[in-house]
Structure formats: C-alpha cells, structure tokens
Amino acid sequence: MSAASVTVLPRRTPPTILVVEGDVRTRCLVSDELRGSGFKVLEAGSAHEALTVIDAVRVDLLFIALDLPGAQSGLETARLAGARQKPIKIILASLDGEVDPGGLGPLVRKPYPASQVVGLVMRSLNWPAPA
C-alpha cells in the first residue's frame, strides 16, 4: 500500500480594507458586504479618522469617498494615505464622474451597489471569491 500525499496550502490572511465614507448608511452597507466576502474591514467617517487608522494599522486597500465632511478632501486624504503606507491599493468613490483620480486607483461613481465595490476590491487585490 502507498500513502496518499496531501498538499496543504498555506492559509491566507484576509486583506484589511479601510472604508472611508461620510454617509453612515453607505459606509455600513459597503462594510457589511465586504465582511460577508471574508475581508477584515475597518471604518472611518472622516479624513481625520482615516489618517488615524492608516497611522495605526496596516491596511491593504483604501476605499474612500471623495466627498468627505470637513476641510480635507477624500482625494487629498487618499494621496496622504498612499504616501504614509506603501504599498496600498486605493479605490475612489465620487458623485462626479469627471474627477481625475490622478493615477491613485479606479473611480466608482455614486450611487453604486455594494456588490460592485466587492468585485472591484477582489480584482484590485487579486483575491478569490468565497467558495
């Protein structure tokens, strides 16, 4: 008799996604959808909160709305986050489809279905869909 060989693949740690959105309902919908797909999700409601998280925790992908409340724009926050943590993937969301993301990452036009964000996150991180 011969023993069967079994290949054990290393377990991958789910990527950490930071969802930055001023609208609480939208932020919760997107975050819940991402968690349901197996991602570790952190949330922020402002540019200041987002940068505080970026300074404290390793984030694999930043999903950020450009229309954040306060003086600092989402675009400026995304640039700062990209400079503070490398490498970091960035996905931007905007009401204005004419915004130039300046090479930071793809732009999703609001309103968007949360499932569209999940698909874009999976493609950006090359992460497999849950079985």
Task: Count Cβ atoms below 10 Å from residue 99 Cβ, excluding itself.
Answer: 16
Residue 37 lies in a domain: yes
Residue 2 lies in a domain: no
What range defines the domain where residue 50 resides? 16-112
Q: Grade residue 96 by pLDDT with cuts at 50, 70 and 90.
A: confident
Task: Count Cβ atoms below 10 Å from residue 76 Cβ, excluding itself.
Answer: 13
Residue 81 lies in a domain: yes
Residue 53 lies in a domain: yes
Cα–Cα separations (whole angstroms), residue 63 to 3, 23, 82, 89, 108 = 48, 13, 12, 9, 10
pTM (2 d.p.): 0.86
Residue 106 lies in a domain: yes
CB 22 within 8 A of CB 69: yes
Residue 49 lies in a domain: yes
Residue 4 lies in a domain: no
Could you give the number of structural domains in the chain? 1
95: left (phi over 0), alpha (psi -120 to 50) or beta: alpha
CB 129 within 8 A of CB 115: no
CATH of the domain at 103: 3.40.50.2300
CB 70 within 8 A of CB 53: no
Residue 8 lies in a domain: no
Q: What is the pLDDT of residues 1-41, one digit of tens each?
A: 555 666 655 557 899 999 999 999 999 999 999 999 999 99
User: Is pLDDT at 62 greater than 90 in this prediction?
Assistant: yes
Spatial separation of the C-alpha atoms in residues 26 and 100, rounded to whole Å: 23
Q: Which amino acid is at 23?
A: D
